[in-house]
Amino acid sequence: MFALDKLPSLSANEIGKINVFEVGFGTGLNALLTQFEAEKQGVSINYSTIEASPLPESCWQALNYPHLFRSRVDSQIFAKLHLAPWNQTIEISPHFTLEKIHGTLEAFQAKTGEFDLVYFDAFSPDVQPELWTVEIFREIFQGLSTGGVMVTYSVKGDIVRALRSAGFSTVKLPGPPGKRHILRALKTIINTGA
Ligand SMILES: C[S@@+](CC[C@H](N)C(=O)[O-])C[C@H]1O[C@@H](n2cnc3c(N)ncnc32)[C@H](O)[C@@H]1O
């Protein structure tokens, strides 16, 4: 679970709109919490997310996140996120649009600099090592705007090294309850000396 409020380098006042890309829509939890923060903070977010194997309705209905989060999130929004058609951009709420891409990360090609923030929420490097490679991280790097950020939950040394090889600078951040650290990878502004 990633928290928008832990990303001080992305200021909505500076960039107006935040273009988010999530790897692995899954249960929709990250999308739901981000939509909640977008409306709470009045920050406009275009949220794109890629998913290889969408969950069937019986699974996401059974999760009952809106009940777990009580009044914080809205059950109608949660259903809207899941029922939104694939491969189309849909307005979910005044500050939040959603594009769910049905496909694999390996085949996805981002336009240069189209995203400001990436939630890298693939299954773990032990389970899916093919998604935690320098090549994949390079693709994400080129898809990020300068000053853009990728966050992920793995802080393994191999992952940090792969991210640095792809061009990122990295920093460990305190994680949410139950997780000591998460990782922030930053596409820094290149100083050409000109
Ligand atoms: C850890 S879960 C993501 C959880 C999700 N972000 C959430 O908020 O519930 C990882 C997700 O990545 C998806 N996935 C696995 N392989 C993928 C691939 N090659 N490309 C895109 N998505 C993939 C899985 O189906 C799964 O839903």
Which CATH number do you get for residue 41?
3.40.50.150
Let me know if residue 120 belongs to a domain. Answer: yes
pLDDT in tens, 164-182: 999 999 999 999 999 999 9
Q: What pLDDT sits at residue 74?
A: 81
Q: Quote the pLDDT of residue 69.
A: 74
Question: What's the whole-number average pLDDT of the chain?
Answer: 90
The CA-based angle 175-173-142, given to 5 degrees, is 110
pLDDT tens digits, 69-119: 766 668 899 999 999 999 999 999 999 999 999 999 999 999 999 999 999
Instruction: Please indicate, yes or no, if residue 54 is contained in any of the structural domains.
Output: yes
What stretches of the chain adopt beta strand conformation (E)?
17-23, 44-51, 89-93, 96-102, 115-120, 144-152, 169-174, 181-186
Which residues have any ligand 1 atom within 6 Å of their CB?
A: 22, 24, 26-30, 50-53, 104-106, 121-123, 128, 131
Instruction: Tokens 């059950």: give the residue.
Output: 75
Average pLDDT over residues 153-161: 97
What's the number of domains the chain is made of?
1
Model confidence at 189: pLDDT above 80: no
Q: Does the residue 50 lie in any domain?
A: yes
Question: In which domain, by residue range, is 41 found?
Answer: 12-186
Say if 109 falls within a structural domain.
Answer: yes
To test the pocket of ligand 1, the residue of 82, 131, 153 to mutate (highest count of ligand atoms within 8 Å of its CB) is 131
Over pLDDT 70: what percentage of the chain?
87
